Amino acid sequence: MITIIALLAVGVLFSVSSKDSNITWNLLIEDPRSETLYYRIAITDGDTFKLTCRNSVSKSLVTGTFSVTDRGLLNPIQTSFTAYGPGLPMEFTEEYSIDNGVITVYHHEEPRDYLRLWVTPLTEETLTVNSRVFPLGDLTETHLLLTIRIVK
């Protein structure tokens, strides 16, 4: 009888833990120099988010898409743009497509712990997470270094 109860308890624990496979994380947007936290956004593993900015030379929009891994890392998926400018993937040695004038480069690189980027009102950096838009370029009147990372 004790063996049956123990087996049932293990079965219940296993079904509860396997039912909740997505982990909720927090996507942090912060200034690494002043340690100012601007945003804390709930996100789960498998979710994607987009960083969009205006290329400072070509003035065209560039969008980077990232996903969250089950270990809380940032996984680069793709970069999309309509006009080439500095800082964009130059060698199309990676997988890419061109559809209706949009060049999309698909990344196959290791996930990373964080992203660092400079934001300014001129380049209009915007973060989109689960249909919520965060205008990062509006955080400063000149320029600002930000770190994007994931924590539990």
Evaluate if residue 89 carries a pLDDT over 90. Answer: no
Structural domain for 74, as ranges = 22-151
Q: Report which of 107, 97, 101 is spatially closest to residue 82, judged by C-alpha positions.
A: 101
144 occurs within a structural domain: yes
* pLDDT value of position 23: 83
Instruction: Evaluate if residue 19 carries a pLDDT over 80.
Output: no
Q: Considering its fold, how many domains does the chain have in total?
A: 1
Is 14 a domain residue?
no
Does residue 2 belong to any structural domain of this protein?
no
Burial class (CB in 10 A: 0-12, 13-18, 19+), 116: exposed
Neighbour tally for 70: CB within 10 Å = 12
Asked whether residue 135 is domain-assigned, the answer is yes
**From 7-11, 63-67, 73-77, 140-144, the region with the lowest mean pLDDT:** 7-11
The answer to whether 77 and 107 have CB atoms below 8 angstroms apart is yes
In a domain, 80, yes or no: yes
Lowest mean pLDDT among 2-11, 14-23, 81-90, 101-110: 2-11
Task: Round to whole Å and give the CA distance between 123 and 100.
Answer: 24
What digits encode the pLDDT tens for the residues 90-128? 666 668 899 999 999 999 899 999 999 999 999 999 999
Span 11-25, mean pLDDT?
54
Q: What is the pTM of this model?
A: 0.82
DSSP assignment of 6-67 = HHHHHHHHHHHHHH--PPEEEEEEEETTTTEEEEEEEEETT-EEEEEEE-TTT--EEEEEEE
Give the other-Cβ count within 10 Å of 73's Cβ.
18
Q: How confident is the model at residue 4 (pLDDT cuts 50, 70, 90)?
A: very low
Q: Does residue 7 belong to any structural domain of this protein? A: no
Mean pLDDT on 123-135: 96
